[in-house]
Amino acid sequence: MYKYNTSSNSNSSRSDITKYVSGNDIFNSQLLYELNRVTELIPYQIKSYQYRPDLICSDIDYPVEYEWILLFINKIDITEYRTGEVIYYIPRKIIDNLIQTL
């Protein structure tokens, strides 16, 4: 598994998944492994922003850069982000702590 890579070609923030992958294999990631181990998931019922996980991030105190984490946790297609559906998210403080420890 791969840990934080400061020499990555990406110029983005620590929340960018490309900082945690080995080569081009995004599934060889310590961050993804740790996210899968988190058991504290909070339910969220979609009331607006249908099909827009990027906007749902603002409702759950995620920066838009964490949109991929929301998609990864729920493992559903974007078309399933419909009004009335319940999705789950990891509290931001847990994600931030994971990122800081990698």
- Residue 8's contacts (CB-CB under 8 Å, 6 or more residues apart) are 18, 19
- The pLDDT tens digits of the residues spanning 46-87 come to 999 999 999 999 999 999 999 999 999 999 999 999 999 999
Kind and range of the H or E element at 26? strand 25-29
- Predicted pLDDT at 2: 41
- Predicted pLDDT at 3: 45
Is residue 1 scored above 60 in pLDDT? no
Rounded to a whole number of angstroms, the CA Rg of the chain reads 14
Q: What is the rounded distance in angstroms from the CA atom of residue 60 to the CA atom of residue 39?
A: 17
Length of the chain: 102
In 10 A of CB 49, how many CB atoms?
15
- The pLDDT tens digits of the residues spanning 11-50 come to 556 656 566 666 666 556 788 889 999 999 999 999 999 9
- Predicted pLDDT at 32: 87
